[in-house]
Amino acid sequence: MEQPPHNLRRHLSLRQLEVFEAVARLGSLKRASKNLHVTPPTVSIQIRKLSDAVGMPLFEQVGKRIYLTDAGRALYESCRAMFTNLEHFESTIADMQGLTWGRVRLAVVTTAKYFAPRLQGSFCERFPGVEASLEVANREHVLERLQANQDDLYIFGQPPAGMDVEAVPFLRNPLVPLAPPDHPLVGRRRVPLTEVGGYPFLAREPGSGTRLAVERLCDEHGVSLKVRMELGSNEAIKQSVAAGMGLSVLSQHTLVSGGEEVAILDVEGFPIERQWYLVYPAGRKLSIAARTFMDYLLEEGPRIMEMPAPPAPEASPPVGGSAGNASLARSG
């Protein structure tokens, strides 16, 4: 290891620090390379050059995992502070120039993937100079990103509990019960919730906002669901419902044109009226781009979602038969 130079600023590059911060945050060279859209060897070279410039190892490997050394932890804290200051500077410049350019980093829970790109695309059409990124993940991973302050804004169906955040409702999120089109409950009016509890139920994974809302409703009415399977995605649930494996409850936003055919049931207590929330850390000063994006969704989001969705590609024949006069939703 080389001796540290007297002036690190002459021997460090911003790119090296960016690569180091990604490796330290993600705990993996491979994940960092994917996050930065570079090859793993490129990441390794940048980390080696940075370690040489500092004069001390920044990571140590134990088995297959890597950990920050004391020097690495100190540098990581300095990197986070520096990048935060740079973001504040970018925000200040954007404020001076008006919204002619900027960046909005958005992270959303999986169900929001059915409408977030549409809202983000409409915003970018209105403000073409703004660069936008979208991260879609399960609730647990989006919570981790929120805790690490990795994005500007976050979309949740249920605001995080026990965290110091601002949560702004901006869009309806009705949860509806689903069944295969030939199910005996299809076409009936005001089906009692207790009767739904008598059929196999397909649930989202524990911790899912949709699951929490359904469990809360059932607890209020003393109903126990016969959970047949737990599935980690809306698509898997819709396909399983269409195949006759059970009933389920999903956000109505998941029902877009194309794909499997499922029926929306008329059940007492439904739809469960919920909201989509824009969330960000309390006390954080949003950039002008992020603030404008939030204001745009508050003003234009409902109108955009009422407009007809773009046509979906032609799908294969749906599973199940005709549902007569049932309320049918083609879900993609």
Give mean pLDDT, residues 297-316: 70
Q: Cα(90)–Cα(71) distance, rounded to whole angstroms?
A: 28
Calpha distance 286→234 (Å, rounded): 31
CB 229 within 8 A of CB 246: yes
DSSP 267: B
Which pLDDT tens digit goes with each residue over 182-213?
999 999 999 999 999 999 999 988 878 888 88
User: CA 123, CA 297: separation in Å to the nearest integer?
Assistant: 8
Q: What percent of the chain has pLDDT over 70?
A: 86
- Burial of 10: CB neighbours in 10 Å, binned 0-12, 13-18, 19+: exposed
Instruction: Read off the pLDDT of residues 251-291 as tens digits, 9 standing for 90 and up.
Output: 998 887 555 589 999 999 999 999 999 999 998 888 888 99
Q: End-to-end alpha-carbon separation of the chain, Å?
A: 55
Give dist(CA 234, CA 114) in Å, integer. 10
CA distance 20 to 331: 42
Q: Is the pTM of this model over 0.95?
A: no
Q: What is the pLDDT of residue 322?
A: 33
pLDDT in tens, 107-160: 999 889 989 999 999 999 988 888 899 999 988 899 999 988 889 999 998 888
Query: Do the Cβ atoms of 19 and 59 come closer than 8 Å?
Result: no
Q: How many angstroms separate the Cα of 320 from the Cα of each of 165, 260, 323?
A: 44, 9, 9
Position 320 pLDDT exceeds 50: no
The whole-number pLDDT of residue 35 equals 81
pLDDT (tens digit per residue) in 57-91: 999 988 888 999 999 999 999 998 888 888 778 76
pLDDT at 279: 97
284's CB contacts (< 8 A; 6+ apart) are 149
Domains of the chain, each with CATH number or no CATH:
8-81 (1.10.10.10), 99-171+275-306 (3.40.190.10), 175-274+318-331 (3.40.190.10)
pLDDT at position 330 over 60? no
For residue 1, pLDDT over 70 is answered with no
Predicted pLDDT at 5: 52
